[in-house]
Amino acid sequence: MKKYDIAIIGAGAGGLNAAFEALVLGKKVVLIEKNAPGGECTWSGCIPSKALINIADEIHTAKKYGAVNINGKEILNKVRTLIHEAHQAEAVEVLNQAGINYIKGYAKFKDSNTLDVDGKEIKADKIFICTGSSALVPPIKGLDWIDYLTNENIFLLDDLPKSMIVLGGGPIGVELAQAFNRLGVSVKIVEMAETILFREEKEMALEIQSILEKEGVEVFTSSKGIEVKEEIEGVNLIVDKDGKTNEIKAEKILLALGRKPNLKGFNLEKIGVRYNNKAIEVNECFETNIPNIYAVGDVVGPYLFSHMGAVQAKQAVRNAFTKTKEIVDYSNTSWCTFTHPEFARTGMKEEEARAKFGDNIQVFTHKYRDIDRAVVDQKSQGMAKIICDKEGYILGASILGERACEMLGELQIVKSFKIPFYRLHEAIHPYPSYSELLLTMSKNAYDNKK
């Protein structure tokens, strides 16, 4: 039996960051993963989707200048090649060289300090549950009888389908819908809410929806899938909208309805770890109700992002092994939806800010079409909205447009370190650049302060 300072179940973003943070603290680490290290993000999430999106964007741009021959098999093979290239930074050899004992196997709890990994016992002072999440499969009649797609198998296809229904208009669904449409796949999005990306600023969500529709994506909102039938040429989704049913047909159907935590099969019940169908219960330090057992990432939430899992993991390790107790400030959480143009967000929407602060807020907006760089690049679609309190501190920001995700980083520094937004105009920004958008808005905030 081997003894460690920390045993980590799951080698995704949370598990990998926990392992390396523990190494920094001089701890003996074992990392257990039933598949290859990297987790959902590397193999079926962030990395393959961004690879596909980039290829689709290149092809979309090339189409402006003439016909483009699209080879679906080559594209999907290229995506898989890029996955393996990205994986090299977290390959088993890299982990072992760093000092992490990596074990490929399935871990189950025997007691609060002991794991059974395929028949071998491992003991540790601290055990971290970083088992991630899986695609949510809805209870739609007939779904179990068809060969549906999720993010976990869509990148394993041999070739592009001719047509596809995307069930769900959230970030995953919208990103993949646009990318596959740009690659020549006829795409239809089915979303229960009134708009796609319904959690975001409504005017921006509607603008993205309009862009998708102009590119050829069909969008069915306020529509609920109630039954799926398999047909000779593919699938037939029966949807309900306002009490009326409609049939939507395609070769394939992609489920993009969110995620569910991976909680089954680890004997959590045996040792008494409390959880519900959404998450493992943890305190502010990420410790479960069982002392010395911690959980981070998608099994905890509330934000199911790789970067959030990384932040939680590092803080949880420091909480577990040092006297410092660190608490994540979720108000500074940021995220991006990698459509074209991109959408980026941190903090509150205007609606949320008004609900909390009433009229004691300031709202600044600016259009991309008023930025010289956006005009000459022919990428003038989009806008930015920044919400501040009366003192000028950022409560929330949303950007829809070219390089939105990169520009959000500048706002994150201002927001996280509690710098008044109006001070941003004091920093010299290069011209012509997209960051002129933030500079202009900050100057408006400064003028508004006078």
Q: Please, what are the domains in the chain? A: 3-37+91-135+260-321 (3.50.50.60), 143-258 (3.50.50.60), 334-449 (3.30.390.30)
Contacts of 440 (CB under 8 A, 6+ apart): 366, 370, 371
- For residue 132, say whether it is annotated as part of any ligand binding site: yes
**Is 363 one of the annotated binding-site residues?**
no
pLDDT of residue 32: 98
Report whether 169 belongs to an annotated binding site: yes
User: Tens of pLDDT along the chain (450 residues)?
Assistant: 789 999 999 999 999 999 999 999 999 999 999 999 999 999 999 999 999 999 999 999 999 999 999 999 999 999 999 999 999 999 999 999 999 999 999 999 999 999 999 999 999 999 999 999 999 999 999 999 999 999 999 999 999 999 999 999 999 999 999 999 999 999 999 999 999 999 999 999 999 999 999 999 999 999 999 999 999 889 999 999 999 999 999 999 999 999 999 999 999 999 999 999 899 999 999 999 999 999 999 999 999 999 999 999 999 999 999 998 889 999 999 999 999 999 999 999 999 999 999 999 999 999 999 999 999 999 999 999 999 999 999 999 999 999 999 999 999 999 999 999 999 999 999 999 999 999 999 999 999 886
Rounded to 5 degrees, what are φ and ψ at 438? -70, -40
Nearest partner of 344 among 379, 374, 372, 382, judged by Cα: 382
Does the annotation list 50 as a binding residue?
A: yes
What is the residue type of 434? Y
Print burial letters for 412-443: b (CB count within 10 Å at least 16), e (below 16): bebbeeeebbbebbeeebeeebbbbbbbbbbe
Q: Is 134 annotated as a binding residue?
A: no
Tell me: is residue 161 an annotated ligand-binding position.
no
Q: How far apart are CA 197 and CA 170, in angstroms?
A: 5
Can you give the pLDDT at residue 18? 98
Provide the residue type at 187 as one letter.
V
The DSSP H or E segment spanning 126 is strand 120-129
Do strands 186-190 and 101-104 pair parallel, antiparallel, or not at all (unpaired)?
A: unpaired
| 131 annotated among ligand-binding-site residues | yes
**CA-to-CA distance for 164 and 154, rounded, in angstroms?**
11
Query: SS3 for 86?
Result: helix
Residue 277: its H or E element = none
CA distance 108 to 9: 9
d(C-alpha 173, C-alpha 220), whole Å: 13
Q: Is 112 annotated as a binding residue?
A: no
Residue 334 labeled ligand binder: no
User: Is 175 assigned to a binding site?
Assistant: yes
Is 258 one of the annotated binding-site residues? yes
Q: Which residue is listed with tokens 């088993």?
A: 92
Position 37 scores a pLDDT of 95
> In this structure, what is the dihedral angle of CA atoms 339, 341, 347, 349, given to the nearest 10 degrees?
-100
Would you state the torsion angle of the CA atoms of residues 112, 328, 399, 62, taken in this order, to the nearest 10 degrees? Answer: -40
Give the single-character DSSP code of 421.
Answer: G
How much is the pLDDT for 450? 67
Q: Which residue has the tokens 């093979």?
A: 77
The pair of three-digit structure tokens given for residue 141, joined into one six-digit string: 């009649």
With CA atoms as reference, report the closest residue to 44 among 149, 139, 174, 185. Answer: 149
Residue 385 CA to residue 373 CA, distance in Å, equals 19
Backbone angles phi, psi at 146, to 5 degrees: -120, 165
Q: Give the C-alpha separation, 116 to 110, whole Å.
A: 6
Q: Does 420 show up as a binding residue in the annotation?
A: no
Q: Which candidate, 249, 244, 229, 49, places its Cα nearest to that of 165?
A: 249
Confirm whether residue 133 is marked as ligand binding.
yes
- C-alpha distances (whole Å) from 282 to each of 18, 66, 244 are 16, 56, 43
Q: How many CB atoms lie within 10 A of CB 214?
A: 8
The closest of 189, 234, 227 to 208, measured between CA atoms, is 189
Please report which residue ranges of 113-192 form alpha helices under DSSP H: 171-182
The rounded distance, in Å, linking the Cα atoms of 281 and 132 is 15
Residue-level pLDDT at 1: 72
AA letter at 426: E
